[in-house]
Amino acid sequence: HRGLVAGLGAMGSNHLRVLSSMDGVEVVGVVDPDAARRASTGLPGFPTLGEALAATGPSFACLAAPVGDLPALATEALEAGVAVLIEKPMAPDEEAARAMIELAEARGVLLGVGLVERCNPAVRALRERIESIGRVYQLHARRLSPFPNRDSMLGVAIDLATHDIDVMRFVLGEDVERVFAETAQRRHERAEDLLCSTLRFSGGQTGLLEVNWLTPTKVRQLTVTGEDGMFVVDYLTQDLSFWESPRASTDWAPLAGMRGGGEGDMTRYALERREPLRVEWEEFLAALESGSPAPCGGREGLAALSTAIAIQRSGATHQVVESGS
């Protein structure tokens, strides 16, 4: 597979690192307007994607440029018949994302979206086990970080919460129907840097999102509560734990007051830990080779983006907003 990487910021550099280490993959060029960034890779560099496509004849392109540039880059690659893995959120608005999806479908070209957390081994293990807790009641995600310094920052709803929205949809197999959010802008000059949101899923489950760029330490956690217990995912350490619903009683009153009236078993699963970004690329390239759909396609990306935009709209209007409305 011959590939291009367009955008050499923090995420693009990680894509380049992973692709350069993979057997059967040749990175034939990089694209970035910054000449120093291009030169630092030691690879053929191009200021525009059009020049790179014409000079290298790639089979796929990784698009990790600032979000505002992604729709035009995707259009250029897809019209050239080149498969695209585009970083989330894939576009700054739903209209551009839909146009990208329609173009890929019309041309029969593979389009994948880089929602990498669904490739985390702990998330995969959660999805495999989700039915073991019976009916799911609630999902609660916390994605908290210090203030970043990146090329493109559209607010925590689009830049961060899209990950957890996608993971919730992925493990449940359900769509988000409506949201209500409180958002705040404390340090960011242009968009929200803090949000608290509730989500209602088509299956009746409730989701909670806490996301910000204001916490001094990084937190990446998801809990899923159901009728038979609770799962906890730590994205950073790739841990999945399970707390069984109480089945052994505590008869000593002082202890019961501190710990509750009973408890079940607690399990931390042994998982095969791998870099999610590498898994994402292995699965995308396997789909390219076999002609099968992208593991995380354009419509999955659009669903996460639509919910993130609904969260922003709810935070601005203080109203419940239907996802995709």
Distance of CA 159 to the CA centre of its chain: 9
Q: What is the model's pLDDT at position 238?
A: 98
Q: Are residues 130 and 225 in the same domain?
A: yes
44-49 — which CB contacts under 8 Å span 24+ positions?
A: 49/4, 49/6, 49/73, 49/76, 49/77
H-helix or E-strand spanning residue 13: helix 10-20
Residue where a domain stops, chosen among 65, 82, 109: 109
How many angstroms separate the CA atoms of 148 and 129, rounded? Answer: 34
Give me 213's structure tokens. 């760029």
Residue 279 maps to a domain: no
Q: What are phi and psi of 69, to 5 degrees?
A: -90, -15
Q: Is residue 151 assigned to a domain?
A: yes
pLDDT digits (tens, 9 = 90+) for 80-122: 999 999 999 999 999 999 999 999 999 999 999 999 999 999 9
Cβ proximity of 68 and 11 under 8 Å: no
Adjacent-strand bridge partners of 211:
143, 195
Whether residue 178 sits in one domain with residue 59: no
What CATH number should be reported for the domain holding residue 122? Answer: 3.30.360.10
Q: Which residues pair with 199 in a beta bridge?
A: 179, 207
Whether 92 and 152 share a structural domain: no
The neighbour count for residue 10, using CB atoms within 10 Å, is 12
Whether residues 126 and 207 share a domain: the answer is yes
Residue spans of the chain under pLDDT 70: 150-152, 325
Looking at the domain assignment, is residue 299 inside a domain?
no
Q: Are residues 96 and 155 in the same domain?
A: no
Q: Which of 154, 172, 8, 168 shows the shortest CA–CA distance to 88?
A: 154
Does one domain contain both 158 and 84? Answer: no
| Domain containing residue 9: CATH number | 3.40.50.720
Per the structure, the count of domains in the chain is: 2
- Residue ranges making up the domain that contains 84: 2-109
In this structure, are 173 and 72 located in the same domain?
no
Do 124 and 255 have their domain in common? yes
Identify whether 284 is part of a domain.
no
- Indicate whether 225 belongs to any domain: yes
Domain boundary among 61, 89, 109: 109
- Whether 231 and 105 map to the same domain: the answer is no
Same domain, 123 and 103: no
Residue 98 domain flag: yes
Q: How many angstroms separate the CA atoms of 135 and 132, rounded?
A: 9
Select from 78, 109, 140 the last residue of a domain: 109
Is the pTM for the entire model greater than 0.75?
yes
What does the pLDDT read at residue 152? 57
Determine, yes or no, domain membership for 280. no
**Per residue in 170-194, is it b (16+ CB within 10 Å) or e — as a string?**
bbbebebebbbbebeeeebeeebbb
Residue 289 lies in a domain: no
Report the pLDDT value the prediction gives residue 249, as an integer from 0 to 100.
Answer: 75
Q: Quick one: 167 and 24 in the same domain?
A: no
CA distance 160 to 308: 9
> Does 77 share its domain with 147?
no
